Structure 1
Amino acid sequence: MSLQRWALGIEYDGGSFHGWQTQAPTTQVVDGRPIGSTLPTVQGALEAALSQIADAPVQVVCAGRTDTGVHATGQVIHFDAPVLRPETAWVRGVNAQLPYSCAVRWAQPVSTDFHARFSATGRRYRYLLLNRPERLALFSGRAGWFHRPLDVEPMSHAAQSILGTHDFSAFRAAECQANSPVRTLTESRVTRQGDWLIFDFAANAFLQHMIRNLVGALVTIGKGEAPASLMIELLAQKNRTLSPPTFMPDGLYLTAVDYDAGWGLPTAGLSGDPLQIFNFR
């Protein structure tokens, strides 16, 4: 029997997980005996829940791996179902097996040609930063925070200056395993709404820590420690060690993954706006 491939839209609170990817068990020595434990990951939670519904092992592939503390409103995965199940089983049934910090938003049968990662044409991220003197409480873990006033105008100019195709070596993590540092940035925008700064980025793909490193450099510009030309200078230097520190993960959201319309995937909910969660009056 041929397996049916399914695509799922996923959202999760990254603060509850040690990143996307399942990790090897860690070993601690207690009373002279080695004891292994596995850190919770999004992949591990999803595969366990799907396997419960399928009553057989299920492996998943995601559109983009997220780090510890990074959230998602529009992650996309695919898996090959070893059994026939209705769409409701892969949404409501799986959600009943998942921790509350992770949920399936939709499920769609797709052809075996579909690949969550390689069929994607782009990814979209949003970073939420609360810019006020007082630290976060209600939004702790859900947004970044910076206490000194930030000037959004040079930050906006700097963000616009890096649009296009570039070598982003200055903004990749030292442990990044991507074969090439070249990426095409199609959106790079910083706006202010009251005390909130919203960073929007879209690209064909991103390097490890790339967005958090971009935000860190933009904050350096916003607090007046560097001119807007810093971004162009860093791109030219191609040296991560010369760049500002990586910013905290708390405010980063994977909001959408782009696919050709021919795949017939749902569009509603893919580009959820995390800022609306905090839009209290």
Structure 2
Amino acid sequence: MPRYALKVEYQGAPFSGWQKQKELPSVQGAIEAALARLEPRAHTIAAAGRTDAGVHALGQVAQCDMARDWDPFRLSEALNHHLKPAPVAIVACAQVDDSWHARFSAVERQYLFRILMRRAPATHEAGQVWRINRTLNVAAMQAGADQLIGRHDFTTFRSSICQAASPLKTLDELRVQAVDGFSGPEVHFHVRARSFLHNQVRSFVGTLERVGAGAWSPDDVGAALRARDRAACGPVCPPHGLYLAAVRYPQSPFG
């Protein structure tokens, strides 16, 4: 059966997350239903990472196995037709070798988190950013973020329901950037690692927001990390500012 890599973009608001769940809408379920319209049978797809309810994607990568030998462009066009009106789009498609796997072949995941800093409620950006009514100190947040770079036991920043075998992870980048956004000043968090623990990025951002607001010092972030205690973590920020931005492979399947 020919295997295809799919680059997927979606808004997370209408979904219970990526993973298919009984009687709940999911991104995986929407794509598998569209595949069943093209080849009527049960389809099971795999993705590079499972995003939670409300989390978005700019560059999620998934795989599907088809019975027919589809032209990749025609497959993406047909899927996009049957995905309407769900806010999910196949933005690239490529045929790959049977040994390629969307999750296990990946060598890096990249996330983006957006904070909008303004007092007025978000309108055009509602559900796409975490809106806060204060100005954050970006330099202080970066000083706190720098203490998280490298290989650490991230128990403090790991959800209590995380199923990962170990809290040891290597964080390659946590960059805090001030941006002039469409609706006002934003802070963007750019996060890179091979893999992440459950709620790790949202735990980072919620903690660093406390630093930016002046409630924590940058050194408090390092102390929280060293505590290896979930109770030492700052607040976990909401999901709607988080995007799975990209997935990197030794060789991109999309050319």
State TM-score, norm by structure 1. Answer: 0.86
Q: State the one-letter code of the partner of 2:116.
A: L
Q: What CA distance in whole angstroms lies between the structure 2 residues aligned with 1:181 and 1:114?
A: 27
CA contact (8 A) 1:53 1:89 kept: no
- How many angstroms does 1:55 deviate by? 2.4
2:68 to 83, 98, 102: 83
- How many angstroms does 1:100 deviate by? 3.5
- Tell me if 1:125 matches 2:115: no
Partner deviation per Cα, 1:203-223 (whole Å, 9 max, x = no partner): 010111111110000001111
1:239 to 204, 216, 229: 229
- How many angstroms does 1:159 deviate by? 1.1
Equivalence for 2:9? 11
Q: What CA distance in whole angstroms lies between the structure 1 residues aligned with 2:222 and 2:100?
A: 37
- Tell me if 1:112 matches 2:98: yes
Equivalence for 2:245? 255
Q: State the one-letter code of the partner of 1:232.
A: G
CA contact (8 A) 1:50 1:90 kept: no
CA contact (8 A) 1:72 1:255 kept: yes
Q: State the one-letter code of the partner of 1:20.
A: W
Equivalence for 1:265? 253
Equivalent runs, 1:1-281 vs 2, <5 Å: 3-24=1-22, 38-98=23-83, 99-194=85-180, 195-261=185-251, 264-266=252-254
Q: What CA distance in whole angstroms lies between the structure 2 residues aligned with 1:76 and 1:46?
A: 12
SS in 2 for 1:15: coil
SS in 1 for 2:209: helix
54-63 vs 197-206, which moves further: 54-63
Over aligned residues, Cα RMSD in angstroms?
1.2
Larger radius of gyration: 1
Partner deviation per Cα, 1:58-110 (whole Å, 9 max, x = no partner): 21000000001100010000121122222133200001111340010111111
Partner deviation per Cα, 1:153-199 (whole Å, 9 max, x = no partner): 11011112211111111111111111111111111011112411010
- How many angstroms does 1:23 deviate by? 1.1
SS in 1 for 2:70: coil
State TM-score, norm by structure 2. Answer: 0.95
Q: What CA distance in whole angstroms lies between the structure 2 residues aligned with 1:106 and 1:66?
A: 19
Q: State the one-letter code of the partner of 1:81.
A: M
- Identical positions, percent: 37
**Residue ranges of structure 1 left out of the alignment (5+ in a row):** 25-37, 268-281
**Residue ranges of structure 2 left out of the alignment (5+ in a row):** none
Q: What CA distance in whole angstroms lies between the structure 1 residues aligned with 2:68 and 2:41?
A: 8
